[in-house]
Amino acid sequence: FLHPQRNQWSPPPLSKVLDLPPENLIKSISAVPVSKKRHVADFQLSIASIIENSSSDCSAQDLHLQAQQLAERLKCDSVVSEISAGPGMVNFTINRELLAKTVLQQVWKDGSEYGVKSELFSTVPRQKAVIEFSSPNIAKKFHIGHLRSTIVGNFIANLKVALGHEVVRINYLGDWGMQFGLLGVGFQSFGNKEKLKSSPLQHLFEVYVQINKAAEDENTKKLAKDFFRKLEEHDEQTLSIWKQFRDLSIEEYIRIYKRLGVHFDEYSGESFYQGKAQEVLKMLEDKGLLQKTIKGTGVVDLSEKKDLSTFSTVMRSDGTSLYITRQVSQSVDLAAAIDRMNKHSWDTMIYVTDKSQNNHFQHLFQILKLMGYDWAERCQHVSFGLVQGMKTRRGEVIFLEDVLNEVRSRMLQNMTSTKTTREIQDPVETAEKVGLAALIIQDFRGLLSSDYQFSWDRALQSRGDTGVFLQYTHARLHSLEQMHGNAELTDVNVACLQEPNAISVLQHLLRYDEVLYRSSQDLQPKHIVSYLLTLSHLAAIAHKTLPVKGSAPDVAQARLCLFHAARSVLANGMKLLGITPVTQM
């Protein structure tokens, strides 16, 4: 049958009847979503998608008529047991035993690559992607926005790697700017070397808070300016203090990222591009793109009529590039983009930040284009909304580690109240992995660009659409396999998998590649989240109604194979989202 991942179904005469090459039909045929209320077919062919220029020419009635006419011309065979017409669709039901056999064999054979080897991806070129994500500011709060950037960027990187692309993960740190003048002066007054070594982020944050109270004092301002000027002039002693702040912070970040299951190929930062930013300003000037305002700042005119109605500021009035905050660090970001292209020769570059920076990136890409860099069109900004209401029991969240500790302790408390936890080998680590799944699923359920209200109670529910439920389902299916021995596919009697609840799981497994394809197109994790939650609910119903224990040996073996396939796909999807599946809970 003609469909991604299903290239071993023998085709009915569909391409002949339509007089279309088989590859033209791949994206027109899709697996039908499982319905709890009624029996559904396995595949549907969209009439609109195979009629060229159909969008405006055909009414719903025409499409329905054409679907009926096509359904009448097609014949059932050993593969397709039923053909019917629906609204603008032709529905196909596959021979039930063939469906079970083929799906189970495919999941078994492809393992972690199930869905990825689909024909849907056959025309997608393998590319090199640079992904910039997380990007906290050294010595400032690692706030919850950075958590979102970290888990979203990690998901995109995981997905790209799974689909065979080469990925460079870059953490672009806020490690330069006037705040380091303040911090240097603050450390001289309030700093403690022992505290700096034992918990750098916490200590630098405390120092920053203290010195900020005095930031309006003229003397403090002067000292901070002097410290930062020395830093810009590469004064050895000043640079070594700054370097210590940076290195110790990165060490601590790496430890925290490890808890999140996240790694980076490169730790870069604004400090790397100070000299290069000056070169970019010179390039802008040479190309006639840099204009001076009355105040002396340097701007690039981005308006269509060239009347400065839209512009981007790239230079301070004292002639230096801007790096006060990311919103105005255009020349530094321009230098970084150009440098990355020279260094990595990427096909696509993705920036993952919150949506308040939409303008910044729009301007950045526009300026690159004006500078003659055509590859600016292959730059992409994936933006996300804000998380509201994330508090720990002690109050406001300051550091990411507070969130991780909180979710672990709450999860451990929930697990302790259930009778099975005593048998878990490492309850603390399990609580951490389950807790992280809870955070990720709550975050990824909606559109990334939406703001959402965080709720501990909702995130940590063991029933319902939560990360805890996904982990629970995975652990349960794993223990089923442990209890009854690993399933063997060689001699499975697929005639034993004809119950509606077994068919529902098989039909759902058919759709996995389409869901991956959709997420790969719009980089939204919600498609995969929704798919895995449905898979878990269907597997839970099947687990309840199709017992392995006490069934005849061939029935038990067939059901074990079904549950193994469901667990395998569930684990694959969870790993893409950045979740480590647990085997006990």
Catalytic status, residue 543: no
143 is catalytic: yes
DSSP 582: -
Residue 370 sits at the vertex; the CA angle it makes with 364 and 371, to the nearest 5 degrees, is: 90
d(C-alpha 570, C-alpha 585), whole Å: 16
Alpha carbon 334 to chain centroid, angstroms = 25
Q: How many CB atoms lie within 10 A of CB 565?
A: 25
Active site residue 37: no
Out of 3, 101, 146, 230, which one is annotated catalytic? 146
Q: What is the dihedral of CA 86, 92, 93, 98, to 10 degrees?
A: -170
- Catalytic residue (one of 140, 221, 276, 484): 140
380 sits in which H/E element? strand 379-384
Neighbours of 274 (CB within 10 A): 18
Place of tokens 């209320």: 37
Enter the tokens of residue 521: 């197109």
Exposure on the CB side of residue 426, measured as CA atoms within 13 A: 7
Residue 266 Rama label (left phi>0; alpha psi -120 to 50; beta): beta
Q: Contact 367/302 with Cβ under 8 angstroms? A: yes
Burial pattern 427-448, b for ≥16 Cβ within 10 A else e, equals: beebbbbbbbbbbbbbbbbeeb
Instruction: Say if CB 57 and CB 37 are below 8 A apart.
Output: no
Residue 216: count other Cβ atoms within 10 Å of its Cβ.
8
Q: How many CA atoms lie within 13 A of 324 on its CB side?
A: 9
CA pair distance 516, 159, nearest whole angstrom: 8
Helices 178-190 and 218-232 pack at an angle, to 10 degrees, of 110
Instruction: Name the CA dihedral angle for 151, 157, 159, 162, rounded to a multiple of 10 degrees.
Output: -130
The Cα diameter of the chain in Å comes to: 88
CA atoms within 13 A on the CB side of 21: 2
Residue 568 CA to residue 541 CA, distance in Å, equals 17
Rounded to an integer, what distance in angstroms lies between the CA atom of residue 472 and that of residue 36? 22
Q: What is the distance between the alpha carbons of residues 390 and 142, in angstroms, rounded to a whole number?
A: 13
Q: How far apart are CA 72 and CA 287, in angstroms?
A: 66
> What is the C-alpha R_g of the chain?
28
Catalytic hit among 143, 221, 276, 355: 143
Lookup: tokens for 489: 């596919």
Q: b/e string for 223-262 if b means 16 or more Cβ within 10 A?
A: bbeebbebbeeeeeebeebbeebbebbbebbeebbeebbb
Q: Quote the CA–CA distance of 273 and 573 in Å, as a whole number.
A: 38
Which positions are annotated as active-site residues?
Answer: 140, 143, 146
